[in-house]
């Protein structure tokens, strides 16, 4: 039985990837294994795959004959074993590559490839798996008359074109993800922000820009309010924000108020003002390479863009030590 706790704690020790997750019979699939040698005597890198995958080539990170993989057929599966002998330095990262041809019937099916690092007692030190989706016929056949359903030549021909267009088709199928600030590629984030009219700051890491875009509707709808300012600064600084509002005095117009030549507005008046208290983690200074004074001035500039023009504000930044 696989020790899942052990695998979870050592999941970075072994990673498994393929050059394509959707393929057709007859195609060549390349399997990549990145692993960190455990350094234990008798350890082994094991790869299990369905027997319909026929190995055609491999590259191992050692030129020693003792490290060449052995291939064994066990219960309709192929088991590839690579000895991690003394040539593999403990704690060093290596990359192995294996190419296999899909030799199966033209039916839709899934295939699982499992990789494991074993110690001398065959106990699993780390494990990873990947699944291949094998399509028995090209999807483009669905757009042709039923006459072509059993035409192997047409199916293979369409599979070729489908492979060429698959990256574009996948982008079209997932186009909604490009408009999700949490899923869109990093290169799309500035464009998405400009599309919403949200100004960006080079000071911000990409994760915080994503959060600002995600909250853009609330920030615009409530712009100038204590809630919007607090939310913006919490995302911008990754800290705690407390806002105190102080309303103006003696600047009230009503039924009993008089306004004339000898009446001065604002006499002994306290203007509308906001006190912003920030508790910012000290790692922000390390990340931005700013001094405390420079960072405080930066926050003052940010607050000035968020408060209404007639409001006086004061900013107080407190930098907390690392947790």
Segment 56-72 mean pLDDT: 72
Report the alpha-carbon distance of residue 80 to residue 115 in Å, rounded. 9
Report pLDDT for 296. 92
For 150-193, the pLDDT digits (tens) are: 777 887 788 778 777 877 877 788 888 889 999 898 999 999 99
Could you tell me the pTM of the whole model?
A: 0.54
For 268-306, the pLDDT digits (tens) are: 556 678 899 999 998 999 899 999 999 999 999 999 999
3-state secondary structure of 182: coil
Distance of alpha carbon 316 from the chain centroid? 34
Segment 128-156 mean pLDDT: 82
Give residues with Cβ within 8 angstroms of 285, minimum separation 6.
Answer: 291, 292, 295, 319
**Which tokens belong to 92?**
């060093």
Report pLDDT for 267. 56
pLDDT of 1 above 50? no
Cβ–Cβ under 8 Å, residues 87 and 62: yes
Cβ–Cβ under 8 Å, residues 73 and 99: no
Distance of alpha carbon 222 from the chain centroid? 30
Report pLDDT for 9. 35
Quickly state the pLDDT bin for 232 (edges 50, 70, 90): very high
**Structural domains present in the chain:** 7-136 (2.60.40.740), 138-173 (no CATH), 215-249+268-320 (3.30.300)
């Amino acid at each position: 039985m696989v020790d899942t706790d052990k695998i979870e704690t050592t999941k970075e020790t072994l990673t498994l990837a393929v050059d394509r997750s959707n393929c057709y019979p007859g195609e060549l699939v390349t399997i990549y294994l990145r692993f960190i040698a455990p350094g234990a005597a008798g350890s082994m890198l094991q790869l299990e795959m369905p027997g319909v995958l026929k190995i055609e080539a491999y590259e191992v990170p050692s030129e020693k004959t003792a490290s060449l993989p052995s291939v064994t057929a066990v219960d309709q599966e192929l088991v590839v074993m690579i000895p991690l002998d003394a040539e593999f330095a403990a704690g060093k990262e290596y990359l192995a590559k294996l190419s296999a041809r899909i030799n199966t019937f033209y039916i839709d099916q899934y295939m699982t490839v499992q990789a494991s690092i074993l110690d001398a007692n065959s106990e699993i030190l780390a494990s990873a798996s990947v699944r291949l989706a094998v399509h028995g016929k090209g999807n483009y056949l669905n757009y042709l008359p039923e006459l072509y359903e059993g035409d192997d030549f047409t199916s293979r021909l369409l599979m070729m074109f489908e492979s060429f267009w698959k990256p574009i088709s996948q982008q079209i199928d997932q186009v909604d993800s490009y408009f999700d600030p949490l899923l869109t590629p990093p290169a799309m984030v500035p464009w998405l922000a400009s599309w919403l009219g949200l100004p960006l700051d080079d000071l911000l890491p990409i994760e915080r820009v994503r959060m600002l875009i995600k909250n853009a509707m609330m920030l615009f709808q409530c712009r100038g309010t204590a809630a919007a300012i607090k939310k913006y600064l919490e995302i911008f600084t990754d800290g705690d924000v407390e806002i105190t509002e102080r309303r103006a005095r003696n600047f009230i117009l009503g039924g009993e108020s008089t306004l004339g030549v000898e009446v001065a507005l604002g006499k002994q008046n306290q203007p509308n003002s906001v006190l912003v208290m920030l508790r910012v983690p000290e790692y922000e200074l390390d990340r931005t390479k700013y001094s405390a004074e420079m960072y405080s001035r930066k926050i003052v500039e940010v607050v000035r863009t968020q408060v209404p023009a007639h409001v006086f504000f004061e900013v107080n930044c407190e930098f907390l030590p690392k947790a």
